[in-house]
Structure 1
Amino acid sequence: MPEARIVWRGFALNKRTVAMVQAAEKQYRSKFKIMQGSYNKGGVEASAGTHDGCGAVDIAVAKLAPAQRRAVVLALRQVGFAAWLRTPAQGRWPYHVHAIACGDKDLSRGAAIQVAEYRRRRNGLANRGKDDGPTGCHGMTWELYLKAHPAPVPVAVPDSTISLGAMSYARTHDVMTGVWGADRARVVAWAAHPKVGAITKAETIPPAGVPWHLHFQRVLRKVQVKFKLPETGSFTEGVAAVMKRYGYKITA
């Protein structure tokens, strides 16, 4: 099924092509200036129908130095485009980079032929000349690029909320039940916080034979001693103030 068509930076493209362009821009370390998108049937005669379907995009490079133009071509090829630098000597057009997304399911016939020519190391023009662009990427597709560059797994953000009610309950109960049952993980996570753990020697779990609520009081006393607070074994306002400095949000 073809990708959804969208308008991006004023040009019609599909989501896959946009993602590929964005990845290429990261490789190039700068944004491209798009001069023609996809779904532009009959829009530019010199394009010979290659932009009639999706997966086609032209990048303006007339104002760039030769090395920069080549870098744009390379960046596009690295993410799975069949891309070439087009010059005024080749046709009635300004310097630009013509790119076709390899593997797109809705390419025009002309664009699909250009991808095949790219695989054969040719220039994608009617003269079927030799490809004069950067080598080493002719077998690349967007899917292969993604496989080689998986998205980073987001780091889980620990729950930084402390419920005063849950802390009070934990001080006198060995099991978090009832309304505070869902807060047990928060209480344990608090005791395991790196800065709290550094004070308590990471004593998240009570030693054998020590009730959980007494262990919880012991942890609180260590925190209170560290910050010269009254040793009550309770989660007092003083302890709450310290935890706020650690980035915790205090709730009722």
Structure 2
Amino acid sequence: MPEARISWRGFTMNRRTVAMVEAAEQLYHSKFAILQGSYNAGGVDASAGTHDGGGAVDVDVRTKSAAQRVAVVKALRQVGFAAWLRTPAQGNWPYHVHAIAVGDKDLSRGAAIQVVEYHRKRNGLANRGPDDGPPGYYGMTWELYLKAHPPKEPVPDSTISLAAMEYARTHDAMTGVWGADRARVIAWAAHPRVGAITKAETVPAAGVPWHLHFQRVIRKVQLHFKLEVTGIFNTAVAGVMKRYGYKIVA
């Protein structure tokens, strides 16, 4: 199955290639200036068809130092690109880094040949010269990189709105901000570190409206933390949740 194509920073690429470039940018600690993307048949004669399919990207390094240029190549290789620094002495082009995503399903014939040359530690040019980039990454692929560096889980939303809690106290809908915030408060109350309610009490009993159930949960929270029992999510309850890392807003 072909890779899913998207438009990214004004260039057509596939999602796998974009994810790889973004990972390389994180390693380099700065965004790249893209000169050419993928699926660019006939776009640049000097590319020799390597950008006709997917997995290809050129990064502009004209204004970078020699060390920075090597660092760009290294970052791209680290995430699974066959990447080389291209210089004006090698052809009719400016300083740039040419990169082909190893294992891309949409590689053009020319790009696939360059990957083979990369694995043979060559420069991917017509002269078939020795590789002139940082060694040690010839066996890397995007999948191997992801296995060694799994994406971090997104940080859960820990913001609670006092206005939403006031609305949730008298309304049953679970949509909107009040529904989401109410669900966070109830889940927090049932967390083992809190223990104000049991897991079974995270949902109302049959026939009990959500707003009444929420009031009962808040009463149990107030009893648990020895607060004034009102059934209202007030500043005292908010103060307790702050101690657990929650952010309380108006």
Q: Shorter-normalised TM-score: what interval?
A: 0.7 to 0.9
Q: Deviations over 1:40-70 (max 9, x none)?
A: 1111111111111111111110110000000
Contact residue 191 and residue 219 of structure 1 kept, 8 A: no
Q: Secondary structure in 1 aligned to 2:97?
A: strand
1:244 pairs with 2:243 = no
Deviation at 1:100, TM superposition (A): 0.4
- 1:85 maps to 85
- Structure 1 residue 15 corresponds to structure 2 residue 12: no
Looking at structure 2, the residues matched to 248 and 97 of structure 1 have their Cα atoms a distance apart, in angstroms, of 44
The answer to whether structure 1 residue 115 and structure 2 residue 110 are counterparts is no
Question: Displacement, 1:240?
Answer: 2.6
Relative to structure 1, is the Cα distance of residues 111 and 220 closer, same or farther in structure 2, using a 3 angstrom cutoff?
same
Change (3 A) 1:72 1:241: same
RMSD of Structure 2 on Structure 1 (CA): 3.2
Match of 1:145 in 2: 145
Partner of residue 171, structure 1: none
Amino acid in structure 1 at the alignment position of 2:235: A
Counterpart secondary structure, 1:145: helix
Q: Provide the residue aligned with 2:56 in structure 1.
A: 56
CA contact (8 A) 1:159 1:186 kept: no
Are 1:101 and 2:96 matched, yes or no?
Answer: no
Corresponding residue SS for 1:7: strand
Contact 1:24 1:76 in 2 (8 A): yes
Residue 223 of structure 1 is matched in structure 2 by: 226
Task: Give the share of equivalent positions with the same residue, in percent.
Answer: 59
Deviations 1:80-139 (Å, cap 9, x if unpaired)? 000000011111111110000000011110000000000000000011000010011111
Alpha-carbon offset, residue 244 of structure 1: 2.8
Per the alignment, do residues 193 and 42 of structure 1 end up closer, same or farther by CA in structure 2, a change over 3 Å counting?
same
SS at match of 2:12: strand
Secondary structure, counterpart of 1:13 in structure 2: strand
Contact 1:50 1:108 in 2 (8 A): yes
Hey, what does 1:176 align to over in structure 2? Answer: none
1:190 counterpart = 2:184: no
Q: How many residues align?
A: 209
CA distance in 1, matches of 2:183, 2:99: 55
Residue identity matched to 2:234: A
Question: How big is the shift at 1:235?
Answer: 3.0
Structure 1 residues 204, 138: CA separation in 2 closer, same or farther (over 3 Å shift)? same
Q: Structure 2: where are the runs of 5+ without partners?
A: 171-181, 199-215
Secondary structure of 2:107's match?
coil
Is there any run of 5+ residues in structure 1 with no aligned partner, and where? 166-182, 206-212
